[in-house]
A and B are shown apart, each in its own frame.
Chain A
Amino acid sequence: MPSSRPLWIIVGILLIPPIVVPLLVGLYDKDDPRLWGFPFYYWFQFLLIPCAAAFTVTAYYVAKEAVRRDRAARGLPELDSKGERR
C-alpha cells in the first residue's frame, strides 16, 4: 500500500492559496477594468469564490484517497464512494 504522506502534503498545499490570496488586498484594490459595471475590486472577489472552491474540492478528493490509504494501512474497513462506512 503506498504511503498517504505525499497526499496529505498535497492537501496542505492546496489549502494555502484560498487562505492567502483573499488577504492580499493590494492585488485587487482597483476600479478598472470593470465587468458588467462592477469595479475590479468587487468582481475579483466574487471570482475568488469559485476559484477557492476549486481548490477545496480538489483537496477533498485527494484527502479521500489519503484517508483510504490510512485506513487500509491500519486494517480498518473501506469506506464507500460517499466516504461513509458501508
Chain B
Amino acid sequence: MNAVAFSVFIFLFLVVTVMGFAAARWRRAAALDNLDEWGLGGRGFGTFIAWFLIGGDIYTAYTFIAVPATLYAGSVTGFFAVPYTIVVYPIIFAFLPRLWSVSHRHGYVTPADFVQGRYGSKGLSLAVAITGIVATMPYIALQLVGMQVVLEVMGLQSSSDNWFVKDLPLFIAFVILAAYTYSSGLRAPALIAFVKDTLIYIVIIVAVIYIPHHLGGWGHIFDSAQSSFDDFNKTNADAIAAGKAQGRGIIPPPAAHWAYASLALGSALALFMYPHSVTGVLSTKSRNVIRRNASLLPAYSFLLGLLALLGFVAIAAGVKVTNPQQSVPQLFENEFPSWFAGVAYAAIVIGALVPAAIMSIAAANLWTRNIYKAFLNPNATPAQEAQQSKIVSLVVKFGALIFVLALSKDFAINLQLLGGVWILQTLPAIVVGLYTRWFHRWALLLGWAVAMVWGTWTEYDIASPTQAHFGGPLTTFWGTDTKVYVALMAFLINLVVTIVATIVMRALKVPDGVDATRLEDYSVDAGDTGVEEELTPETPAH
C-alpha cells in the first residue's frame, strides 16, 4: 500500500461523502418525503445535470473495469461497447420523450407505472417491475466487484480468511453510500456525478496521452497486442482447434461480425429498459432536455472507446495479472506517479458509487410503486411511499453486498449476463406501448414469460472453456452456425409469441383492459395542462 496514493484516494472519497450528505440541501424542496423529490430529484434537472446523471448510469465502474479486461484477455468483441453507445442515442431520441410526457401527465415514477396505466393490467405491471428488480440487483453487485478490484490492487484488503474482515474497506465505503442515498435520494448521485466524470475524464485523457507516449506510441501498442495474441494462438493452436480455448486477435474474424453487431444492438435496446436509466430520464425538467442530451451524450462514447483500449496498453506495458479485471488498475499502479494513481483509483471507486446509488433508488421505486402500493397498501400516502423506498434502497444495497462478499463473484457476473436477457423482454410492453395499444395485455405477458424461460434456459446451457454454464452471451442462430446475442433471439421469440397471441386474444374477444392515457398525453411538455412545472416549490438554494 502506497501512502501518497492512499491519502489522495481517501481525500477524494471524503469530498464525495460530504457532497453526498450536502446534496439533501441542494435545489432544496419544501419536503423530501415523497417519491418525486426523493426518487426523482424533484423532476427538475436541466441538460447539464442530466448529462452527468445519465452518463453516470451508462458508464459505470464495472464498465471501466470489464471492458478493457476483455480486450486485455484477447477478445476484441469487448469493443462492441463503442458501437453500442453509438446506436443507443438515436433510440433514446425516438422513444424516451414520449415516455417522459406520459409519465409527467400521470405522475408515473417507474416504467411499470406506465405499463399499469396503459394496459390496465396489474399482472403485466408486476412482471415488468419484478424483471426490473432482478435485472438491477446483479448490476449493483457488479459495481461492488469493480470497487473490490481497485481496493485489491491498492493493497487495501487484509489477508484474513474471514470475508467480513477481508473486505472491511468495501463495507465501510458501502455503508457511507447507503447513508447518504437514504438521506438525499437522487440528489446525491446527481451531485456526485460531476466529480466522478471530471475525475474520470482527467484520468483517461492523461492515460491515453501519457502512457502511450512512454510506450512508443499507439502503433507500437497495437503491434505488441497483436504479436502477443499471435504467440498465444501459436502455442495454443491445438486447444483452439479443439474448442478448449478461444483464438485471440485485435480485429474480429468474419465469423464474429454478427456477434459483435447483435451485442451492440441488443445492449442498446436493453439499456433504456433498465429502471435506473428511466429514473435518470424522468428526473429531467422538460422533454426537450432528453433530445438535447441524446445529441450530447456521444462524447462519453469516445471516452469509453479510449478506455477500452487501455486493455491493449496494459499488454504493451507488460502488465501481468491472472485476473484480467485487474489489468487497468495495475496499469495505473505501474505507470502513474503514486499521487495520480490515487486520483485514478478514486475515479473508479466513485464511478461505482454513482450508478449503485441510482440503481438502488430505481429498484426501490419499483418495489414501492408496483408491489407495495399496487398489492400491499393501496392507500399509501406519498410520505409512506418515500419511507418504503428509502428503506428498500438500503435492503437492495446490502443484499448486493452480501451477495458479492459471501457468495461468489462469478455468480453475480452470470446473473448480470442474464439480467441483460431478461430486461430486454420488457421492451414490447414499454416501447411498443408508447406508440400503439395493438398488443393485447395477456399476449404481452405470455410473450414475456416464454422469452424469459427460453432465454434463461439457453444461457444456462452455454458452456465456455472455463465454465459449464452461463459461459457467455452468445449462441448459434436457428438454422445457421452464426453466433448471436441470446437476448436478441429471446426478443424475437417474444415478439412472435406476442403477435400470434394478440391475434388469438382478439379473435376470442378477451377484454382489453382500460387505457388511462390519451393520445395527446404522449407529446405534452412541462407547464402544459395537467403537467406540473418543476416540482420544487422554493427557489433553488444555489
Shortest CB–CB separation between residue B48 and chain A, in angstroms? 12
Which residues of chain A are near B454, meaning CB under 8 Å? none
Cβ of B90 and Cβ of A83 under 8 Å apart? no
Q: Kindly state whether residue B220 has any CB partner on chain A within 8 Å.
A: yes
A-B contact number at CB 8 A:
133
**Per-residue CB proximity of B290-316 to A under 8 Å, as 1/0?**
011011101001100100010000000
Task: Out of B91, B523, B527, name the residue touching A70 (CB < 8 Å).
Answer: B523
* Interface contact B222-A53, CB-CB below 8 Å: no
Which chain A residues lie closer than 8 Å to B174 at the CB level? Answer: none
A24 and B257 CA atoms in complex are apart in Å by 8
> In terms of DSSP, what is the predominant structure of the interface of chain B?
helix
For B218, give its contact among A25, A38, A41, A74 (CB under 8 Å): A38
Please name 10 further chain A to chain B contacts, defined as beta carbons within 8 Å, in addition to the given A25-B252, A25-B258, A39-B251, sorted by A numbering: A22-B261, A25-B261, A37-B221, A42-B222, A45-B82, A53-B296, A56-B89, A82-B288, A84-B527, A85-B525
Given A23-B261, A24-B261, A74-B520, does the pair A52, B526 have CB atoms closer than 8 Å?
Answer: no
Residue positions of B touching A, CB distance < 8 A: 79, 82-83, 86-87, 89-91, 93-94, 217-222, 250-252, 254, 256-258, 260-261, 264-265, 285-288, 291-292, 294-296, 298, 301-302, 305, 309, 520, 523, 525-528, 533
Let me know if A29 and B257 touch, CB within 8 A: yes
Determine the chain A residues whose CB is within 8 A of the CB of B221 once the complex forms: 37
| Closest chain B residue, CB of each to CB of A17 | B90
B residues less than 8 Å from A26 (CB atoms) = 254, 257
**A interface size (C-beta, 8 A):** 44
Q: Which residues of A contact B261 (CB under 8 A)?
A: 22-25
Contact, CB under 8 Å: B525 / A84: yes
Complex contacts, B79 vs chain A, CB 8 Å: 42, 45
CB atoms of B219 and A49 under 8 A apart: no
Are B90 and A36 in contact (CB-based, < 8 A)? Answer: no
Least distance between A56 CB and chain B CB atoms (Å): 5
B295 touches A76 (CB 8 A): no
Judging by beta carbons under 8 Å apart, are B254 and A49 in contact?
Answer: no
Check if B291 sits within 8 Å of A63, measured CB to CB: yes
